[in-house]
Structure 1
Amino acid sequence: MDALAVAREVYERLAALGTDPPRMRAWTGEEWGPADAAATVVLEHPGALRALLLPPSDLTAGEAYIYGDVDVEGDIFSVLAFARSLTHLKPTSPTAWSLLRLLRRLPAESRRRDAVRPTFHGILHSLRRDREAVRYHYDTGNDFFATFLGETMVYSCAYFLDPAEPLDVAQRRKLDVICRKLELRPGERFLDVGCGWGSLVLHAASRYGVEATGVTLSSEQAEYARLAAKRAGVDDRVTILERDYRELDGTFDAIASVGMVEHVGARQLPRYFRRLRSMLEPGGRLLNHGIVTRERGRRLRRRPTFISTYVFPDGELEPIEEVVDAAMGAGFELRDAESLRTSYALTLRRWVANLETNHDAAVAATDETTYRIWRAYMAASAILFEHAGISVFQLLLTDPARRWTFGRRWMLADDDT
């Protein structure tokens, strides 16, 4: 068989094994598969399918997409859902070996051969290396992030009460829920660890009258947050520091850490919580909002993935019980835990839709490869949240001596009836 016939045979076998396959278009323009499919996978050259599937891993597939061996037209979520439906296929099964032999008959051509994977230097989770890794991710450019985050410029899970409501409504609710859970009061000192573009410190200062400090390792975020505070008229109550949380001095009445714990690392979790505990006044409280995994025993088989290579270098997700255990070991009491897993899936779907709508602006702010990295990463993450492979929790942690507030109504959003 020639390359076109081999590629079609591989596609048809995979389509029969999975659920709701996408349509496929070969480099010749010939198309196969359901005419009403939600998406079309485009093979850009005769070796494209081999480049996508060998060696089998999410890193291989991701690189084939971002470097242009293949393209995805239409609903990228449906393509990823189809890929997930194939995970029942065991690599050592006769079916898998038969597919492998077919794929090896395709040209060993790959546009990712010239790719340079990001590399970082120094001891894992040292101050220097963490700065390098975090800036790689967050200094992609404010203009780029603005193409998909929306008006609030919040890069973390929103708080949806209705799947159909606007993203900005759900994001503003999330900011307010954090402030309510922390029971912020006028004049209190509030710290946001990993403050991003400053949305939470601005909300806390303007709505709750606190003296807010935000810290970030991203110079672009810090500059944006300072300007936003000035425009909002709260720059006298908002301080933005370009600093690692381990370098901070002073104490605070309340601390929020939103989307930061994922960068800490498993071995550093106890130190992370001890450091935050040491910065709290007696009776203080911490809201830790972070992604967790349902996987167990990963340290025995850790390997590079698409996201760990191109999106979150050195990032680590831990099971929720390990996060809670580290917090309790640092002297905190867990007062409340809330999962926002489905809200994060919705958030990611909105971000992908915004990014796709603003494709030209996103590429102008960065390049096509960066656009594809973020489109693939956010869509794949949405699928993981939807199928409970990962989750996200808000943990309200306090000094055990803090007075008890009965019920939960006080921490709910005003419109959460």
Structure 2
Amino acid sequence: MQLQRSSVGHTTRPSLATARQILSLLFGPPGQRAFHVRYWEGTLEGPAHPTPATLVFNSPASLRRMLLPPSDLALGEAYIFGDFDVEGNLEFVLAQAVSLGDRLLKPLVAARVLALLLALPGEARPTARPAFGDDSKAHTKERDAHAIRYHYDIGNDFYKLWLDERMVYSCAYFNTGQESLEEAQATKLDRICRKLRLQPGERMLDIGCGWGGLAIYAAQHYGVTVTGITLSPSQAEIARERAEAAGVDDRVIIEIRDYRDLPATIRYDKVASVGMFEHVGRAKMPQYFAQIYRLLKPGGLLLNHGIVKEIAPAFIHWGFGTVERYLNSRSFLQNYVFPDGELRRLSEVNLRAEQAGFEIRDAENMREHYALTLREWVRRLESHHAEVLARGLADEVTYRIWRLYMSGSAQSFAAARIGIVQTLMVKPFPGGEAGLPLNRTDIEGMPLEPAPQV
């Protein structure tokens, strides 16, 4: 059964009729769709039963701006600049959009949709993409600092609204899926410390330390001395304040420093890199792992926690990589969220680590955990929408960027297009010994609650 209402009555205006034809080609008849649609003049159509979301077109130009040229950049810009809205579950709507790829590679369907899109109004709309200059300079120290500060220096108060109490901006670990975000992040931090087998008195390096959550936790609960490095002054400020408030500022040192600038005179027992590796870049991977290898003592452990590519939609492989290269050149995330960010396959990451001398000891894919984490972040962000604007913590465009990128990322993790892997590596002793237990009971067999404070 089809639901169709209009505040102004039935209309046959060309743009409305054209928009409805396009949606029927892409998603089928209104009554069979998984979501509702509301058009700019008030018409509402969709199935008679409730759906998780309503897609709202705010002008006759909305669909054209969303789909031309076809890319996630066009779709993302159309959303953040208000050409369309999503009332309800944005992640659900994005999942429907992903399904369009294979359909639009059918020549007859694509030709028909294109002709209809070109019949819609096409008024120009300004963009607000950050200027990062010549791409040949990607992953220089200066460019990396610029990219990191673009993302993380929006404002600490903005992040405080939707992160957990420790402000951990990486994948949480849910033992049952019923835990609070705070509980799941505490479990994740403790799990990292156990995988690294931290011991009192050890020296630990936290690369990309964020707001200090892991560094402070490791010092409090495992008695280690931690050097945390970040390229974000805003993060460093909060991390130092929190270390002092926790009473561990004598064992937690926070520096604004590039990993490439760490002095070779200091050696660490353990290194954690959590949520930073995505910023390294493919060309810099050998240097990244070689630097960490130099900084570790023999028998030292590295826990590398980063997002990796997994299973791409079938249409991505069309045209011997032509589609993938085109979409990569028009990436919403690259333009508005993580400039210069690069995702590689786990096999490639591990190869570069092994070439530097590391032995891979353990790898855990936590993608389901990240989908849960992101959904909780989105829920919290959406609940604070009015406060974000009222307090001037971010403008509407920035709010929409974060809502879109986190909802889309949750869907990508759930669909196995990307994964998040914690890889434990060791720098073997000269004779090849790893110095690790024969089993993993010290990681998996301990109580789930955090370790007692040292």
What's the TM-score, normalizing by structure 2?
0.88
Out of 125-134 and 27-36, give the one that drifted further. 27-36
Structure 2 counterparts to residues 117-132 of structure 1, below 5 A = 117-121=129-133, 123-132=137-146
CA shift, 1:251, in A, is 1.5
Q: Deviations over 1:91-115 (max 9, x none)?
A: 35201211111111111125xx211
Amino acid at match of 1:394: Q
Distance across 1 between alignment mates of 2:444 and 2:29: 45
Partner of 2:43: 30
Distance across 1 between alignment mates of 2:303 and 2:321: 26
Structure 2 counterparts to residues 16-415 of structure 1, below 5 A = 16=28, 20-35=33-48, 36-110=50-124, 113-121=125-133, 123-249=137-263, 250-294=266-310, 301=325, 302-363=328-389, 364-401=392-429, 402-412=434-444, 414-415=446-447
CA shift, 1:414, in A, is 3.5
Out of 27-36 and 385-394, give the one that drifted further. 27-36
Distance across 2 between alignment mates of 1:343 and 1:415: 19
CA shift, 1:179, in A, is 0.6
Distance across 2 between alignment mates of 1:366 and 1:80: 23
Tell me if the contact between 1:121 and 1:129 (Cα under 8 Å) persists in the aligned partners.
Answer: no
Structure 1 segments, 4+ long, off by >6 Å, are 296-300
Provide the identity percentage.
49
Distance across 1 between alignment mates of 2:445 and 2:128: 46
Out of 87-96 and 131-140, give the one that drifted further. 87-96
Change over 3 Å in CA distance of 1:20–1:382 after alignment to 2: farther
Tell me if the contact between 1:20 and 1:37 (Cα under 8 Å) persists in the aligned partners.
Answer: no
Distance across 1 between alignment mates of 2:147 and 2:415: 28
Tell me if the contact between 2:337 and 2:405 (Cα under 8 Å) persists in the aligned partners.
Answer: yes
Distance across 2 between alignment mates of 1:202 and 1:183: 16
Tell me if the contact between 1:270 and 1:330 (Cα under 8 Å) persists in the aligned partners.
Answer: yes
Tell me if the contact between 1:185 and 1:210 (Cα under 8 Å) persists in the aligned partners.
Answer: yes
Distance across 1 between alignment mates of 2:38 and 2:171: 35
Distance across 2 between alignment mates of 1:8 and 1:90: 17
Out of 298-307 and 55-64, give the one that drifted further. 298-307
The gaps in structure 2 that reach 5 residues or longer are: 1-12, 450-454
Distance across 1 between alignment mates of 2:172 and 2:344: 21
Tell me if the contact between 1:173 and 1:413 (Cα under 8 Å) persists in the aligned partners.
Answer: no
CA shift, 1:76, in A, is 0.7
Secondary structure of 1:221's match?
helix
Tell me if the contact between 2:270 and 2:301 (Cα under 8 Å) persists in the aligned partners.
Answer: yes
Distance across 1 between alignment mates of 2:296 and 2:428: 12
Distance across 1 between alignment mates of 2:436 and 2:57: 60
Q: Point out the structure with max Rg over C-alpha.
A: 2
Distance across 1 between alignment mates of 2:96 and 2:436: 48
The gaps in structure 1 that reach 5 residues or longer are: none
Change over 3 Å in CA distance of 1:270–1:193 after alignment to 2: same
Amino acid at match of 1:383: Q
Tell me if the contact between 1:328 and 1:334 (Cα under 8 Å) persists in the aligned partners.
Answer: yes
Distance across 2 between alignment mates of 1:23 and 1:186: 57
CA shift, 1:413, in A, is 7.0
Change over 3 Å in CA distance of 1:17–1:269 after alignment to 2: farther
Q: Deviations over 1:145-204 (max 9, x none)?
A: 112112121000111111121111111111011111111111111110000000000000
Secondary structure of 1:204's match?
helix
CA shift, 1:415, in A, is 4.0
Secondary structure of 2:162's match?
helix
Q: Paired residues, what number?
A: 415
Distance across 2 between alignment mates of 1:333 and 1:265: 21
Change over 3 Å in CA distance of 1:352–1:298 after alignment to 2: farther
CA shift, 1:140, in A, is 1.2
Q: Deviations over 1:353-381 (max 9, x none)?
A: 11111112233301110110011101111
Q: Deviations over 1:220-245 (max 9, x none)?
A: 00000000001101111110001111
Out of 201-210 and 139-148, give the one that drifted further. 139-148
Change over 3 Å in CA distance of 1:17–1:124 after alignment to 2: farther
Tell me if the contact between 1:17 and 1:86 (Cα under 8 Å) persists in the aligned partners.
Answer: no
Change over 3 Å in CA distance of 1:22–1:197 after alignment to 2: same
Structure 2 counterparts to residues 4-19 of structure 1, below 5 A = 4-16=16-28
CA shift, 1:20, in A, is 4.4
